[in-house]
Homo-oligomer: A and B are copies of this chain.
Amino acid sequence: MRRSNVMKCRRCSAKAEVKLRAHNTAFCRACFVLFFGRQVDRCILKNRMFSHGDRVLVAVSGGKDSLALWHALVSHGYQTTGLHLNLGIGDYSTQSREKTEAFARVHGLPLIVLDLRTLNEDISIPTVAAFTNRRPCAACGRIKRHCFDTAALEHGFTVIATGHNLDDEAARLLGNVLHWQREHLAKQRPVLDPTHPKFVTKVRPLYLVSEYETAAYAFFSGIDYVVDECPHGAGATQLVYKKTLNRLEEEMPGTKHGFVKDFQRAAQPVFAAAESPPAGECSVCGMPSYGSACSFCTLVAEVRAKRERARATS
């Protein structure tokens, strides 16, 4: 009798190349690519993220997650345009732009590139970090959100899609839960409907897909992505949470998936009730804002003031 320990693909029984412990299954290369695409499309449908009539702006960093997302959306016939922000972080940003542009070129896809060094004035991440006491990752998040929002409004997109994966979502959720940050929990869901006429729907179609899966999908699909992580790192705290969850996942496969999915089902609605939309508009840029100036324009003003002071004293 012939015995084999080789794992077989769930769909076609060929030799499996991707083993998904959380789902207790395995796939060969071709079937995994199919499975991944269907998983993403099912997530879009089930959560009513958008339809084929929508104009989707995909935030593309040049990393595996965002390029895998863009690739999967295009494969399923959605109307997409990429938006790449050059963050001005040395070689890392140069490489990121090049990989993103190459992907768009090869697949014949429209791409908008914005450069933080020349947006109005230089607000690249190293500049912001040098002129303020803010953590680069917090400032970067704020700038990105503003640029995505304004680009969507300006170009008439109906949806902004980002490539946050299950590992990102689970780590963010763990951080929010360890400190019970209600205002953050109120906003942590895969579809954020616009809370102001100048906002568009924001979606995270990969929120239940693990980092391992997006990496495998990108690799099998021949996507050439930036492998290096941002030199500013994802923030030491975020890495601790990811490590913690990876250890739990080792002992209890499916932990991350259950944690994020059950949150959306059983607890997020409770917190969402406390969500407070921005009441007014920014006096500087006109975008929705909680105060008289939005958090982006406040940051820009801070950088400008510090830069001018530095010039005056030099």
Binding site for B on A (CB under 8 A): 177-182, 237, 240, 244, 247-248, 251-252, 255, 258-259, 262-263, 265-267, 270-271
Contacts and interface: CB of A to CB of B under 8 A. Distances in A.
Contacts of A251: 240
17 contacts: A177-B177, A178-B248, A179-B259, A179-B262, A180-B259, A180-B262, A180-B263, A180-B265, A180-B266, A180-B267, A181-B266, A182-B267, A240-B248, A240-B251, A240-B252, A244-B248, A270-B271
Chain B CB count within 10 A is highest, among A180, A252, A265, for A180
A248 B236 CA distance: 13
What's the number of copies of this chain in the assembled complex?
2
Contacts of A181: 266
B182 A266 contact: yes
A178 B180 CA distance: 14
Contacts of A248: 178, 240, 244
Contacts of A237: 252
Nearest to A263: B180
A247 B179 CA distance: 17
Contacts of A267: 180, 182
A267 to B, nearest CB: 5
A267 B177 CA distance: 9
A243 to B, nearest CB: 8
Contacts of A244: 244, 247-248
Contacts of A271: 270
Nearest to A265: B180
Given A180-B263, A180-B265, A182-B266, 19 more contacts: A177-B177, A178-B255, A178-B259, A179-B258, A179-B259, A179-B262, A180-B259, A180-B262, A180-B266, A180-B267, A181-B266, A182-B267, A240-B248, A240-B251, A244-B244, A244-B247, A244-B248, A270-B270, A270-B271
Nearest to A273: B270
